[in-house]
Structure 1
Amino acid sequence: MAIYANPKPAKLVEVKKQKEVSVYKYSVLDEQLQANAIRSLRSLIAHLKSTPSLTSHEPILLVIDTKEPTAKATELVPRIVPVYNALEKPINQKILLITKDPVMTYKGPITEKGSKTENLFHDIMCFKKLKAMSKNNKLMTKLYHENDLVVVDHRVHRLLPTFLSKSIFYKSGQKIPLMIQMARPDPDAKLVKSKKSNKLKDERVEPSYIYKQISSICKNTKFIPSTGNCLTIVIGYSDFKVEKLVENIDCILNYLTDSQFKPVGGIIKKGFKGIDDLHVRTKDSVALPILEKGSN
């Protein structure tokens, strides 16, 4: 009688599931314009690398010349443009938060240990303090350089231009304060009476919702509609891969030219045909072409 050895147990082989790599689908830039963008961006980044005085994380700007203005009157509120490749993360940014008064109503829950926003902000100050500081140009310049981003409670944001419109924050165009909400909008929210009046106020603070808004602001880019014929928008930084910068250009153009994104986007009349020129540059460099007048 034949004797058979017990078969060896099958060796378990762990198969790691490969992460699917999503491929960006272009909506606006055709192959020729993609090639133009790649060529100009490579030249621009090569120039930056050969300039020792510049950092390796210089903002790259897309300059859009439009046939018609994108705003009928002066606007001072930045609009967020979603991009495919994230620009920044909150952890890498020094963020200043301006709240309603009194500041501790909001600062306490925001900085509470274990909250999503515990270490999110570089500084938190009330609206009245900012207004008082605005009378001193040196203090405002110091505040500007100490912070990468300024966000303001939407209930006081509209008041900023009355005393900040001539400050470095608005003149530079790079750090114009953005609007956020302290809590998710809720028609059934519990309101409390003010100590100084009988007015009912919404003093809710939701750290997770605040963090979500800040993450979106840091990840995406922004612009302000112009009464002129030029828009300048950050597409990324000099240490980004060129392909990612081109993808972000396409995202931005799609958002600004497609009417489905109105009223925030879709502001360029006649869509892509409403654009005369497209260039890329840094704040100090010459502009290199992607699309030039007469070719669109």
Structure 2
Amino acid sequence: MTNALATPDPATAADRIRKVLGDGPVLALTGAGISTDSGIPDYRGPGSPPRTPMTYQQFVGDPAFRRHYWARNHVGWRHVHRTRPNDGHRALARLEAAGVVSAVITQNVDTLHEAAGSRSVIDLHGRYDRVVCLGCAAVVPRDRLAERLTALNPGFTGGVDDVEIAPDADAALSATEDFRVADCADCGGMLKPDIVYFGENVPPARVRRGYRLVEEAAALLVVGSSLTVLSGRRFVKAAADRHLPIVIVNRGATRGDALADLTVDAGCSEVLTALADSYTR
């Protein structure tokens, strides 16, 4: 039976979590909830507005959808680019440096784990800061594409001054009809953010690496994910199949709660900081 802690004192939560996880190695699986303290909204946390992300089929099948997406992304990616790691990201990096956390599988595309100092990271759903050509597979930095899009769309704001940002570097804009899209500079092919869209599969090699990390771990720590999407939940199921201790720290219920030994309904930054202090003092 899952034990549950609701809005506990961070030190109390850390003590309970450590007793379940043991000495490691602990594999961490993170979602959007760990990045909210960096100013990046989540998809499904308490109070989050309804969001309907663009699907892969819409992006590749309709030039209007593609134009609309690139216009929104041209505004939204700059907000993510300015964000910085928070205490939760830094705590996981500390735990890795201490030999407790073996790796991080993140469902986020914001690259903040890497910026915080985590060395072993699987960007399960890709990265916002890269663009891939669907024709020749060339990969280019997002800031290089930004220069081209700015030259094609000087002064573009999307018709709004106060922009609502989404977790995948998207932004809500009122006007995108006149936006001009850039194609691959090498082959003229279709450019797409190096992000796994809804309706698109995570690259198999990435999934296999995640399963290997589960096999090598002694416990699993889930942080800031509702586990609604199968791409992340599969690793919780794999850990449960191996009878590994599982702890979930998240605001609100998740689809993996029934598999967890302990659920903690609390903020990620505070609990992870207390947990890192517990292991490293």
Q: Which has the larger radius of gyration?
A: 1
TM-score, structure 2 as length reference? 0.28
Question: Which structure is higher in helix share?
Answer: 2
TM-score, structure 1 as length reference? 0.28
